[in-house]
Structure 1
Amino acid sequence: MYRNLIFKNPLFLLLILLIPLIFWLSQKRKNEASLHFPSLVHLKQMPRSLKVRFQPLIPLLRALVLILLIIALARPQLGVRKERVIEEGIDIILAIDVSTSMLAEDFTIDGKRYNRLDIVKRVLEDFIPRRFNDRLGMVVFAGRPYTVAPLTWDQDWLLQRLAELEIGMVEDGTAIGSAIMTSLNRLKDSEAKSKVLILLTDGKNNRGEIQPEVAAEAAKALGIRIYTIGAGSRGPVPYPVQDSFGRKFYQKVRIDIDDELLTEIAEKTGGHYYRATDTEELYKVYEEIDKLEKSKIEMTEFYRYKEFYPYFILWALIFLSIEIILKNTVMRRLP
């Protein structure tokens, strides 16, 4: 923290230079108006009274009052500069699969079933606030990618967008390569020292014109690290369907995750692949990524200013009052 004194209107300080001139002209006018008696010159050699000795105090007080008022007009401010040096901070894009396979309810909380996207949203609601020094963005994908939020420090807004995510908001499919390229476009112009993509999916790449391996090469060239997460239990999982009467029941379906591809993408970019088969493991995955990704950045410094002109006005009034009191009491002149 640093402190510095500034003047909001510094040009007013130039008026201080006029004060000697004003007093010189005032004294000159007084001398021209006074009468001089040569026969009284010898009186100057006589001892001077206390009143005479302190007579120059009046113009000095008047000058001090003027100086204080001029300084008040210049508006002195004491600025406190705080440099927020953040020791941990990176740019992160969260890429989330919202294809219909994410409807599978193989994740539970307190024994109650939830679909995969619901659990991912809950885990990210815990992860995002912990990255308060980072800029985060969000991309969702299914048959094609869609940018939900560009990089931002506004966590409240990001959490609102996260809450709005729904399965089926993008045409169905799993376009992993396209999702990576869209995320890279959001990160490539970033000036952050560390740039990270955290991609979560529960399927295999089956849509999009860009192959995931090609997208991973692009990420490597840009210095962007990719962490991949495969979300889902192994083997058949409960998938909700409705009968002709609208009643919900479950069918056992097999949803395969391409572990080999996701591992290749992560390792090629210096990241890591995680497989989360239940809610607890998914929480642990994001906690581990949270611990791994730490870098230093410096936030913009800012100032807070405190106004000091009222104090100068107050002291000017005090000295003006002293002058008035002295002129009408101790220093009072007879007509």
Structure 2
Amino acid sequence: MSFTFAYIGVLGALLLLPALAWLKSLLNRKPAFLYSSAGLVRAVARKSESKASVILNWLRWLVLACFIIALARPRFVEAKRQIEASGIDIVICVDLSTSMLAEDFKDENGDRINRLAMAKKVVKEFIEKRPSDRIGLIAFAGEAHVAGPLTLDHDYLLNNLERLTFHYIVDGTAIGSGLVAAVNRLREVKSKSKIVVMMTDGENTGGEVTPISAANAAEALGIKVYTIGVGTRGLAPMPVYHGAGRPALDRRGQQIYRQSEVTIDEETLTEIADRTGGKYFRADSADTLRKVYAEIDELEKTKVVIKKSQRVEELLHWPILIGLILLLTEVALVNTIFRRIP
């Protein structure tokens, strides 16, 4: 990163300041008058020049110099860097319904983990593998919410992904609403390939749009939808919570679980994928969920376009700030220490 000026020619005005100062001193010369004592002349001259005249004049010229520097727009300019842009836009839809609390997955240490925590881990890995894609994030339960717009700033996106939690949205499973929200993110986008990855563990239970209607909208706009049914087969351990969201504990202080039946509408998810040219996957373990995202990663590859980018950090606010401080200092001195007494 280098320091430079956007309009370096403006700095030439600084060279005029000494000449202007000299000219001003000539114009401000007052006619000579007689003093009865040479000592009195020296005292008066010393007082007026050393205090008011010199200090205030210096402040005024420094203020002017600061504003000239600001007009030249000082800045830090980063060397041009290359950015990879694949031309693929991907929106990931994550189910936040309470059924995602079911702990039928295991992490790397073999510890039981709920579906949402596992999904966030795998989505994070998927995003990190595709640095040249614009990726967005939709969270849905009883309704849909845009958790992250399409962006190449994946650090920002991953922070938003990490914040997703239960009770983030009203409970339910509005698959159609989630898909429509994703389609709306991609509607006006002009890219070679537009993809939705929808992950859910249940059946559509709400929303104003049916999943098939949303799929028809995606098909009409050329948006490919990959659907993933998340959850084991049969029964899954579901932690019990009180109405206030507090975990229900037994006498030993351990979390109470109940066995919940896994009901994924695979027929609808398959139809959504088939209508849009995508594919349906069933992920019943951490390993299969990772394989699903790995397969999607392989299916959606394209040539990378290199774009040049240059970051500029403007610094003109600093000379403006310094100039204003000096100007206020001059005003304060004129009205206090160097105030003229009639």
TM-score class, shorter: 0.5 to 0.7
Q: CA deviation at 1:298?
A: 3.0
2:141 and 2:170 in contact (8 A); partners too? yes
| Structure 1 segment 292-303 matched on structure 2, within 5 A | 292-296=299-303, 298-302=305-309
Q: CA deviation at 1:190?
A: 1.0
Q: 1:199 to 1:81 in 2, by over 3 A?
A: same
Hey, what does 1:102 align to over in structure 2? 100
Whole-Å Cα distance in 2 between the matches of residues 253 and 234 of structure 1? 11
| SS at structure 2 position matched to 1:229 | strand
Hey, what does 1:143 align to over in structure 2? 142
Whole-Å Cα distance in 2 between the matches of residues 81 and 147 of structure 1? 32
Whole-Å Cα distance in 2 between the matches of residues 85 and 103 of structure 1? 37
Deviations 1:27-73 (A, max 9, x none): xxxxxxxxxxxxxxxxxxxxxxxxxxxxxxxxxxxxxxxxxxxxxxx
2:104 and 2:285 in contact (8 A); partners too? yes
Q: CA deviation at 1:211?
A: 0.6
Whole-Å Cα distance in 1 between the matches of residues 147 and 159 of structure 2? 11
Q: CA deviation at 1:282?
A: 0.3
Hey, what does 1:174 align to over in structure 2? 173
Hey, what does 1:203 align to over in structure 2? 202
Q: CA deviation at 1:89?
A: 4.2
1:289 pairs with 2:287: no
Whole-Å Cα distance in 2 between the matches of residues 85 and 250 of structure 1? 47
Whole-Å Cα distance in 2 between the matches of residues 225 and 204 of structure 1? 21
| Structure 1 segment 52-131 matched on structure 2, within 5 A | 86=85, 88-109=86-107, 110-131=109-130
Hey, what does 1:255 align to over in structure 2? 262
Whole-Å Cα distance in 2 between the matches of residues 126 and 83 of structure 1? 23
Hey, what does 2:70 align to over in structure 1? none
Q: CA deviation at 1:253?
A: 1.0
Q: Aligned partner of 1:262: which letter?
A: L
Whole-Å Cα distance in 2 between the matches of residues 85 and 233 of structure 1? 38
Whole-Å Cα distance in 2 between the matches of residues 255 and 114 of structure 1? 16
1:228 pairs with 2:227: yes
| SS at structure 2 position matched to 1:300 | strand
Q: CA deviation at 1:168?
A: 1.7
Matching residue within 261, 274, 298 for 2:281: 274
Matching residue within 260, 271, 290 for 1:264: 271
| SS at structure 1 position matched to 2:127 | helix
Deviations 1:71-94 (A, max 9, x none): xxxxxxxxx9877665x4410001
| SS at structure 2 position matched to 1:125 | helix
| SS at structure 2 position matched to 1:281 | helix
Deviations 1:192-244 (A, max 9, x none): 11000000000000100101101000000000000000000010111112247
Whole-Å Cα distance in 2 between the matches of residues 113 and 187 of structure 1? 36
Q: 1:279 to 1:85 in 2, by over 3 A?
A: closer
Whole-Å Cα distance in 2 between the matches of residues 257 and 188 of structure 1? 28
Q: 1:303 to 1:159 in 2, by over 3 A?
A: closer
| SS at structure 1 position matched to 2:160 | helix
Q: Aligned partner of 1:92: which letter?
A: I
Deviations 1:164-184 (A, max 9, x none): 110121111000001110111
Aligned residues: 231
Hey, what does 1:57 align to over in structure 2? none
Aligned-pair identity in percent equals 46
| SS at structure 2 position matched to 1:248 | coil
Q: 1:171 to 1:247 in 2, by over 3 A?
A: same
Whole-Å Cα distance in 2 between the matches of residues 167 and 215 of structure 1? 24
Deviations 1:274-301 (A, max 9, x none): 0000000000000100010012453433
Whole-Å Cα distance in 1 between the matches of residues 309 and 221 of structure 2? 32
Q: Give ranges in structure 2 of 5+ residues lacking alignment.
A: 1-6, 10-78, 241-247, 312-342
CA RMSD of aligned residues (A): 2.5
Hey, what does 2:51 align to over in structure 1? none
Whole-Å Cα distance in 2 between the matches of residues 303 and 163 of structure 1? 29
Q: Structure 1 runs of 4+ off > 2 angstroms?
A: 80-86, 243-247, 295-304
1:187 and 1:195 in contact (8 A); partners too? yes
Q: CA deviation at 1:255?
A: 2.3
